[in-house]
Structures are given as structure tokens and as C-alpha cells.
């Protein structure tokens, strides 16, 4: 029987890992839900953001938060640029999966060409820092990632719910023809969503650089679990993405602590299948 300390520590670990899942899922959920684009390239952008954070930190000696200030507008512009391409070639929902898969492979190859396939680790003084609460430890960077995910999810939720742009985006996603009849310019707003989504990938990437070890192929390790999080959380549902991330993170972590780590990858898809069986109209 696992000790209470082990269970508590695993719960903390799962919550914080789940926050990072939620952060990665946020942009993907927005582009899929509001633009009907299944953007696999989101993972490539996140890793590009991670490598840029690494490069700026290790070569230019910039603090990570300064790097993020540079990466966010850069990635926003990149997201807008990508959407120009999608619009120009009329990329539909299913085709977007294939197009962005190709884009991911290209970005992965570019990353490998520039940074090589070797592991990269962004060493910081606070990489292993944690705060002690009784017998439990809360890792600082993971906590910050989780807090960032919560802040961005709440802010995005409020933006979609209370602002004119947010309401217009939701209306366009639900019934584009009717929204257009009310004078909503969906095309212009789509560029905004694409930019925001890419910027979120950049933020997630900065945390990946700080928390994980980087290798180009590792971007694929996140695809399955984050897709599960997006579907469980509901498309274009920022709070849902965060909560689903936490749910998957905690489930994986407790499985690792109580049963065996080898079973952890089964958790996200088991939860997803259960949910789709219980609520088949989820996607």
C-alpha cells in the first residue's frame, strides 16, 4: 500500500503536469474549435518556441521571461502568416490535419538541422528548485507553468464570453452564415485566433524548455495526450482544456504511483474512450 506522502506527492506532480498539458491544449483547442483547423503544427511551434527560449537563454543570455516577451509577438505573427496560407489554399478541417502534419515534419527537420538531434538542456539556477510544504515538495517551474495555464485559460474564457470579438468568434464557429448575416467578419477574426493560438504555443514552449530536456523528436510524445485533453475538455473551451489537462495529469500520476509507470500512457486514452462512450457527441 503506498504511503500518504507518496500519494500526496504524486497528486501534486499530476496536477502540475496536467497544467502543462492544459497550456499546450489551449491553443490547439481554440484553432480546432473556432477555425475548424486541426493544427498538428501546434506541437512543432511549441518546440520551436522551446528551442528559441533555449537559444536566447544559452547564447544571448536572456532571462526566460524576456525571451517570452520576444517569442509571443513573433509567434503571433507566425500564426497569422500560417493562416494566410490556410486561407489562400482553402484548407478544410480534414485537410488541415495532413497539411499541418507535413508542416510539423518540416519544422522538426529544421530544428534538427539547426540544433542537431542531440539533447539540449537549458540549465537554470532554479531548474530543480521546489517549495517544501510539510513532507511534500512543490516544484517551482512546474507550479509556474500550471499557474500560467490557469491565468491564460481564465483570460481566454473571459475574452470569448464577455467581449464582442469573443462572442463573434463563437457565433461564427456555431453558424458562420448567420454570423456573417449579422455583419461579423469571420476571416479577419480568424487571423486573430490563429495568432493567439500560435502565441500560446510559444508560451508553452518556453516552459517545455525550462522543465524538459529538448530533442526534436520529442514533440511527437505530446501529441496523443494533448489531443485527448482537447477532446475531453471540449473544443474552444479554455477552462475545459485546463480541467481536462489536470484530470489526465492526476490520473497518470496516480497510476504511476499506485500501479506502475508503464500503465500511465493508457490513462489518457482510457479516459477519452470512456468519455466518448458516455457522451458520443463530444466532437
Residues interacting with another protein, by CB under 8 A? Answer: 2-3, 5-6, 9-10, 12-14, 16-17, 108-109, 112, 115-121, 123, 127-130, 132, 137, 139, 142, 212-213, 215-218, 221-222, 225, 249, 252-254, 256-257, 260-262, 264-265
Helix (H, G, I), strand (E, B) or coil at 131: strand
Least distance from C-beta 215 to another protein, angstroms? 6
Chain Cα centroid distance, residue 84: 22
Separation between Cα atoms, residue 263 and residue 258, nearest integer Å: 10
Q: Minimum distance between the CB of residue 180 and another protein, rounded to whole angstroms?
A: 42
Beta carbon nearer to another protein, 6 or 155: 6
Report the nearest approach of another protein to the CB of residue 274 (Å): 21
Residue 28 · residue 283 · CB < 8 Å: no
Q: Helix crossing, 93-115 with 41-58: angle to 10°? A: 20
Which CB atom, from 55 or from 192, has the smaller least distance to another protein? Answer: 55
CA dist 35 and 29 (Å) reads 10
Nearer to another protein, 134 or 183 (CB): 134
CA distance 81 to 83: 5
Helices first, then strands: H and E counts in the chain: 11, 2
Name which of 139 and 233 has its Cβ closer to another protein: 139
Closest separation between CB of residue 177 and another protein, Å?
Answer: 42
Joined together, the cell numbers standing for residue 213 give 530536456
Q: How far is the CB of 276 from another protein (least distance, A)?
A: 23
Amino acid at each position: 500500500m503506498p504511503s500518504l506522502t507518496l500519494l500526496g506527492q504524486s497528486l501534486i506532480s499530476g496536477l502540475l503536469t496536467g497544467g502543462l498539458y492544459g497550456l499546450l491544449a489551449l491553443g490547439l483547442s481554440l484553432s480546432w474549435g473556432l477555425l475548424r483547423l486541426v493544427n498538428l503544427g501546434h506541437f512543432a511551434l511549441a518546440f520551436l518556441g522551446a528551442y528559441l527560449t533555449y537559444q536566447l537563454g544559452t547564447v544571448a543570455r536572456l532571462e526566460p521571461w524576456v525571451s517570452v516577451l520576444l517569442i509571443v509577438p513573433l509567434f503571433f505573427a507566425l500564426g497569422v502568416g500560417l493562416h494566410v496560407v490556410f486561407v489562400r489554399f482553402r484548407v478544410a478541417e480534414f485537410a488541415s490535419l495532413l497539411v499541418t502534419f507535413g508542416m510539423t515534419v518540416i519544422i522538426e527537420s529544421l530544428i534538427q538541422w539547426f540544433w542537431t538531434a542531440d539533447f539540449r538542456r537549458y540549465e537554470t539556477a532554479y531548474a530543480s528548485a521546489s517549495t517544501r510544504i510539510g513532507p511534500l515538495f512543490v516544484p517551482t517551474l512546474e507550479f509556474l507553468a500550471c499557474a500560467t495555464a490557469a491565468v491564460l485559460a481564465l483570460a481566454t474564457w473571459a475574452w470569448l464570453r464577455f467581449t464582442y470579438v469573443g462572442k463573434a468568434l463563437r457565433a461564427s464557429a456555431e453558424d458562420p452564415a448567420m454570423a456573417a448575416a449579422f455583419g461579423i467578419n469571420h476571416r479577419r477574426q480568424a487571423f486573430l485566433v490563429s495568432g493567439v493560438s500560435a502565441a500560446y504555443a510559444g508560451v508553452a514552449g518556453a516552459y517545455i524548455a525550462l522543465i524538459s530536456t529538448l530533442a526534436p523528436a520529442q514533440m511527437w510524445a505530446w501529441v496523443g495526450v494533448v489531443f485527448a485533453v482537447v477532446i475531453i475538455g471540449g473544443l474552444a473551451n479554455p477552462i475545459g482544456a485546463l480541467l481536462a489537462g489536470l484530470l489526465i495529469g492526476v490520473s497518470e500520476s496516480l497510476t504511476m504511483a499506485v500501479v506502475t509507470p508503464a500503465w500511465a500512457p493508457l490513462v489518457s486514452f482510457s479516459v477519452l474512450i470512456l468519455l466518448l462512450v458516455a457522451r458520443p457527441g463530444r466532437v
